[in-house]
Every structure is written in C-alpha cells, then in structure tokens.
Structure 1
Amino acid sequence: MKNIENIKLRENSTIKEALEIIDKGSMQIALVVDDNDRLIGTLTDGDIRRGLLKGFDLTSSIEQIIFKTPTIAKISDTKEDILKIALSKKLHQIPIVDDFGKIVGIKEIEELVKPKDKINKVVLMVGGLGTRLRPLTETTPKPMLKVGNKPILQTIVEKFAEYGYTNIVMCVNYKSDIIQDYFKDGSDFGVNIEYILEEQRMGTAGALSLLKDKPNEPFFVMNGDLLTNVNFSNLLDFHSFANANATMCVREYEYQIPYGVVETINDKIISIVEKPIKKFFVNAGIYVLSPNIFEFIPKNEFFDMPTLFNILIERKRKILSFPIHEYWLDIGRMEEYKKANEEYGLVF
C-alpha cells in the first residue's frame, strides 16, 4: 500500500494546488480529507479538466469538482475482495479507509496481481504440545493436523506467500522433525524457511530472543494453529503508517450471562437486565512488531506476548489494536478442529 501523505488535500485547496500534487505524484490522484483525515473524495486530472471546461480557473476552490463517491475498500478487506472491486469497476487503484472512514493508504491493483516478495520476516510459533487435541496430537504436532486436506501450517504459509511475505522463521519444539521433513527449506511452497529449535518452552515472545538475525524492519509473529483471511499487507501498513512499536490483532468476543443481572446502589435495585450480552476484544494471536521491542525481551527464559505488551504499556510505548473482521478461527479444541474442517472449503 502506497504512502498517501504527499497526495492529501483539504476541501478549501485550490485547483492549482491539486494540479501540482497530481503532477508531482506517481499515482495521478489526490485524496481530499477533512481535519480528522476522513476521506471526503478524490481528484484526478480528468476531474480538474472537466472543472476548467465548466469555467473554473486555477485559483478556484476544488470544493465543487471533488468526486465525492469514490470506490473505496476497508482496511479489513482481503486481497481477493479488493481485487474483485477493482476489476468490476475497471480501477487501477483504490483508497483504503479504516472503520471510521479515515484514509490509511491507497492500493495499486497491479501490485495485487503481481505481488512482489517483501523483506519483512514472518515468525510462526509452532512448538506447542496441543494437549487439548489429544489423541490426534500424540503422533502429530498440532500445526500439522490436516484441515481441508492440507496441514493448518501449510495454509498459513501459503496465505503469507500470497501477499509476498516469503521470509519465514518457524519456532519448533514438539515433534519438530515432522514439520521440518514436510516443509524442508520452503522452496516447494514458494518461500524461504529457517527453523529455530526451542530446547525449552520459551513462550510466544521469549522465542524471539533465539532469532539468529534480528529483523531491521517490522515483522509478523503468529501462532501456528490459526486459520484466518486477514489482509496481512493492510495489517503491516496499519502498523507502519502509525509508527507503532507493536500491533496486536484483536477479535470481538461475545459472552451472554445466563441470568438476569441486577444493578444496585446500597440496598436499592436500580435496574435489571435479563441475560445481557457482554462484548470484549480478545487477543487473536497475530502481531506486528518493530525491531526496537527486542530490548524488552529477556534471553533464555519463558516470556509470553501479553507480558511484552504489558511492559510496553508501562513504558508508554505506542501499541495498537487491529480489529479482525475477516474469518478467524483458533483451533485449540476438538470442536474447533471439527468446525475448521466443515468451513474450510467455504472460506479458503
């Protein structure tokens, strides 16, 4: 996704200013935003030319020539969603907005059709015991259990490769030989894979201290027992444009209290709500981290990701949440494994 800071305009900008932005930019478009960076509309060379034909001059405001109903995509849209929109509208690029209409970038369709390999590393945590899925995991590590006639881990690898993220590190432990024998160096799957053996349980953040070459750019960390259609490029852009230290994907979780909830002040009942539904955001097990987080990770000891995030909160570092609206399933129990097999063909 392209950086859009140099192609933004306000509604009171002049046509001359718009022309200068469009001529200097490589994307041949200007994005008109309000004071909160919410997208108002777009301007192209064609819009300006049509305005000049109607009698506007270079000192005129762009207000009356803005195209106020541009085709947009949400930051939660998958690559396939964006491509489908673009092809149906015969577009070469689409502005990307968040859930509040705030512009976060612009996606060029050629980039989607021909994704380039990107240098950002992907660290997959695949060393868990999978005790809740026994007896299936007595002979097979959980990430290698088949969903849709292929291992869960293969679907994860292929999803990252689809977005051009091909530098993969697998942190292995339990029955690691099965994983390594299957994926080898990753070339059969269009990626490069290196392995880190956790000789003792290190936790989702502690294992990062074992990386041989520390990344110099933001990198992904993901649990190896998840199935999701999250747009990894949009996730990385969300993190990078905000210059965050860490970003955690979160998922909305609902829980219905099976009783009437009574609210009181002293002995006086002030309300009764029958079986209310409580909503929370829960950790989705997918992260983007910047290289500067390594200073907070101890060596050779168990250290999980929530602990890292709590330390970053205490140190007042910039950490973000990225809500996942796409398909997401944590395959931790037998009922979830069964559900994954039922839904796989419908989702992937």
Structure 2
Amino acid sequence: MSYDWRNVVVAPTTTVRESLQRLDSEALRIVLVCDSSSHLCGVVTDGDIRRALLKGVDLDSAVEAVMNRKPITITSSTPRSEALNLMQTRSILAVPVVDNGVLVGLQTLQPRESSNRYENPVFIMAGGFGTRLRPLTDNIPKPMLKVGDKPMLEILLQNFIRRGFKNFYISTHYLPEVIKSYFGDGKNWNINITYVHEEQPLGTGGALGLLPEDTPNLPLIMVNGDVLTNVDFERVLDFHATNNGVATMCVREYDYQIPYGVIVGDGERIVSMEEKPIQRFFVNAGIYVVEPLIFKNVAKNHRIDMPTLLQNYLDNDQDVCMFPIHEYWLDIGRMDDFKRAQLDIKSLSFD
C-alpha cells in the first residue's frame, strides 16, 4: 500500500476533529503534529483521542491538548530491520523519522488489512419487535428494514466482514423466518451464521445464555441489530485486550442543555449562576465486548439486560471498561432515526 506521510502532518492548532478525519482518511493510524519549521511537536493516535474524550476533551479543542509530546522516534540512518523490531516490541504501528528535531519521514509496519481473520464470536441482537417503527415492522423485523438498498442487519454484518470476522450468532424472536430465509447459514457471505432463538424475550444479557457450548472461547463482540455505525470493530477488540477488563462497553457522548439558568445556593445566599449550562454524559451505544467468563456463565432462559449483568461484575470489583465512539453511530429506534439513516447512508463510508 502506497502512502505519503505528509498527508498526516498537522499544526498544533488543528482541531481534534480534523485530526480524526486525517486518521480515518489516510489509514496510517497516526497523525504527526509539527510546527511551521517542521519540528515534531508530538504524535496522535486513535487511542490518544479516545482517552482524551473519556477525560472530557472536546473534539473542537486543539490537537496539541491530546498529543503525545514524547513519542518514540528514529533517525533516517536507522535500518529498516531495526525500525520494524522497535515497532513490534513496543506494539506500535508507526514511528516518525526525525533528524535534529525535524520530521523527515515515517516508518510503518505492514498495514492491517481485511486479510486478517478473527475467530472471535460476534453476537447480534435481532429479536426485537420494533414497535416504535410500526407499521413498517408489522410484517418484518426491525433489523431487516432497508437503509438505502440493504437491510440494516446486512450493513452491520458487512462492516464486521470487512474487518475479518467470520463467526456470527444472531438472536431472533419476532418473525425469525424473515432473517433466516435472507441470510441462511452465511455461505453467500463466506461466513458462519448460527441462530439463537428466544422463545420469550430474555433481554440483551439473557440471550447470552442460549449460545451453544461450542461457541469459541474468545472475547465476544455483542451488538444491537438496529445500530447503524462505521465503528472499526478491530479497534474495539484491541482496546478491550489492552485494558484487561472482563467487559468493554462502547459509549457515546451525549450533550443536554438545561433550558434555564442554574442557580447554586448556600442557604439564602446565591453562590453562583450559570445560564443554560450544557451537561455532558456518556451513554450506552449498544456495543460490547465480553470475556468468556461472562457469556459462558449466564444461565439458560434467565432474563437479564446487559447493564444489569455488567453491574453484577462491577459490584464484585471486576473491571468493566468503556470505549468512546467518535465515529458515525445511530440507534434506529424511532421513525425520525429511520428517516435520518436514509439520508446519512448516501454519504456514509464503511471502508
């Protein structure tokens, strides 16, 4: 794969948002921050940005606020073999080439392409009634509604397939034959599909108890079937492995503006006033990675939702991590969401 490292060079005042666009468009997984004299000020990776988002950094902040100011570098005289060994031992995908403080190039490992193959199970929740989308869902399950020219479930599957995943489990309840007749066993997509049918709705967590015993003993990615997203699931899995939790929940930042002036008082005295403040929260994005410890220990036909299931592990001092999503994400729960998806899909890239 050919590339020009100059395309990922940005100024310290460039916004985090624009830096993300460079990360995604150039596929080098690094942004190089330089001053006007080409001196390397720092580097930014996808992980740097996600950690900053968890700390409350805004996407419109300058990238210098999130960059690594002391990155690993090499010089132009460093042999390629030594550079490769450095990247492999330090688990990094690229290293800047710097001579006397000036950026002169970039060495990278071979890019991780879709030739990668993951045995990890992918569990897609597709059993809901979709009552808020009636009458569209009177005769079809919500995940089978078309966004553009494809069912949203197919769009989700193809996003996983591009990343090298092949072992899929789909939970069904409402009109399961519609899903099964369309996807079959997955051979038309060169994947394996196993169906898990809920006789009674068991909640997102309870469905895990119906997985077959031969489900691969690897971290499992779980996602709601009505989510439209171009999240890189490889990155989600890498994040989970790096942070060593029993589970990882993908989260999305949600802003809420209070429509009134907020007053803070101490007895009869006003301490401070803020006009229509914005509160920021992280909300559940309906995407999880869970260790076998979790999905192999859910009792069969036991109803439980994922937040409750994960809270049980939190209560026992087990680490549950959160992965902030900055990519496109839409939960298609209402008619307005469905209409928006029809517009967004025209310009949305899943590459």
Q: TM-score, normalised by structure 2?
A: 0.71
CA distance in 1, matches of 2:100, 2:174: 56
Q: Which residue of 2 aligns with 1:173?
A: 173
Task: Please state how far the C-alpha of 1:289 moved relative to its aligned partner.
Answer: 0.6
Deviations 1:143-185 (A, max 9, x none): 0011011100000000000000111000001001000000011
Q: Which residue of 2 aligns with 1:197?
A: 197
Q: Which residue of 2 aligns with 1:150?
A: 150
Task: Please state how far the C-alpha of 1:312 moved relative to its aligned partner.
Answer: 1.0
CA distance in 1, matches of 2:99, 2:267: 58
Q: Against the structure 1 CA distance between its residues 69 and 286, is the aligned structure 2 distance closer, same or farther, given a 3 Å change threshold? A: farther
Q: Which residue of 1 aligns with 2:221?
A: 220
CA distance in 1, matches of 2:152, 2:102: 40
Which secondary structure does the structure 2 equivalent of 1:40 belong to? coil
Q: Which residue of 2 aligns with 1:20?
A: none
Give the RMSD, CA atoms, in angstroms. Answer: 2.7
CA contact (8 A) 2:74 2:98 kept: no
Q: Which residue of 1 aligns with 2:236?
A: 235
Q: Against the structure 1 CA distance between its residues 137 and 46, is the aligned structure 2 distance closer, same or farther, given a 3 Å change threshold? A: same
Deviations 1:230-285 (A, max 9, x none): 11001101101222200000000011111111111112122221111111000000
Deviations 1:97-119 (A, max 9, x none): xxxxxxxxxxx31x31x422210
CA distance in 2, matches of 1:214, 1:66: 51
CA contact (8 A) 2:230 2:327 kept: yes
Deviations 1:108-144 (A, max 9, x none): 31x31x4222100100000001111111111110000
Which secondary structure does the structure 2 equivalent of 1:153 belong to? helix
Amino acid in structure 1 at the alignment position of 2:277: P
CA distance in 2, matches of 1:232, 1:245: 17
Q: Against the structure 1 CA distance between its residues 295 and 164, is the aligned structure 2 distance closer, same or farther, given a 3 Å change threshold? A: closer
Return the index of the structure with the highest Cα Rg: 1
Whether 1:245 and 2:246 are equivalent positions in the alignment is yes
Q: Which residue of 2 aligns with 1:206?
A: 206
CA contact (8 A) 1:47 1:65 kept: no
Deviations 1:53-78 (A, max 9, x none): xxxxxxxxxxx97897879xxxxxxx
Amino acid in structure 1 at the alignment position of 2:322: S
CA distance in 2, matches of 1:161, 1:49: 36
Q: Which residue of 2 aligns with 1:122?
A: 122
CA distance in 2, matches of 1:68, 1:168: 48
CA contact (8 A) 1:218 1:289 kept: yes
Q: Which residue of 2 aligns with 1:327?
A: 328
Task: Please state how far the C-alpha of 1:49 moved relative to its aligned partner.
Answer: 6.0
Whether 1:162 and 2:192 are equivalent positions in the alignment is no
Once the two structures are superposed, the pairs formed by residues 291-306 of structure 1 within 5 Å of their partners are: 291-294=292-295, 297-306=298-307
Q: Which residue of 1 aligns with 2:280?
A: 279
Q: Which residue of 1 aligns with 2:341?
A: 340
Q: Against the structure 1 CA distance between its residues 320 and 67, is the aligned structure 2 distance closer, same or farther, given a 3 Å change threshold? A: farther
Amino acid in structure 2 at the alignment position of 1:173: H
CA distance in 1, matches of 2:173, 2:297: 23
Q: Which residue of 2 aligns with 1:137?
A: 137
Q: Which residue of 2 aligns with 1:48?
A: 78
Q: Which residue of 2 aligns with 1:260?
A: 261
Once the two structures are superposed, the pairs formed by residues 50-129 of structure 1 within 5 Å of their partners are: 92-93=108-109, 108-109=110-111, 111-112=112-113, 114-129=114-129
Which secondary structure does the structure 2 equivalent of 1:347 belong to? coil
Amino acid in structure 2 at the alignment position of 1:121: P
CA contact (8 A) 1:40 1:68 kept: no
Which secondary structure does the structure 2 equivalent of 1:270 belong to? strand
Task: Please state how far the C-alpha of 1:42 moved relative to its aligned partner.
Answer: 3.5
In structure 1, the gaps of 5 or more residues are: 1-31, 51-63, 72-88, 94-107
Percent identical pairs in the alignment equals: 45
CA contact (8 A) 1:214 1:291 kept: no
Q: TM-score, normalised by structure 1?
A: 0.71
CA contact (8 A) 2:219 2:291 kept: yes
In structure 2, the gaps of 5 or more residues are: 1-41, 44-67, 81-96
Amino acid in structure 2 at the alignment position of 1:143: P
CA distance in 1, matches of 2:269, 2:234: 53
Moved more, 295-304 or 181-190: 295-304
Q: Against the structure 1 CA distance between its residues 275 and 198, is the aligned structure 2 distance closer, same or farther, given a 3 Å change threshold? A: same
CA contact (8 A) 1:256 1:278 kept: yes
CA distance in 1, matches of 2:75, 2:275: 58
* Equivalent pairs, count: 268
Which secondary structure does the structure 1 equivalent of 2:345 belong to? helix
Q: Against the structure 1 CA distance between its residues 147 and 44, is the aligned structure 2 distance closer, same or farther, given a 3 Å change threshold? A: same
Deviations 1:280-300 (A, max 9, x none): 000000000111113652331
CA distance in 2, matches of 1:155, 1:133: 19
Moved more, 271-280 or 135-144: 271-280
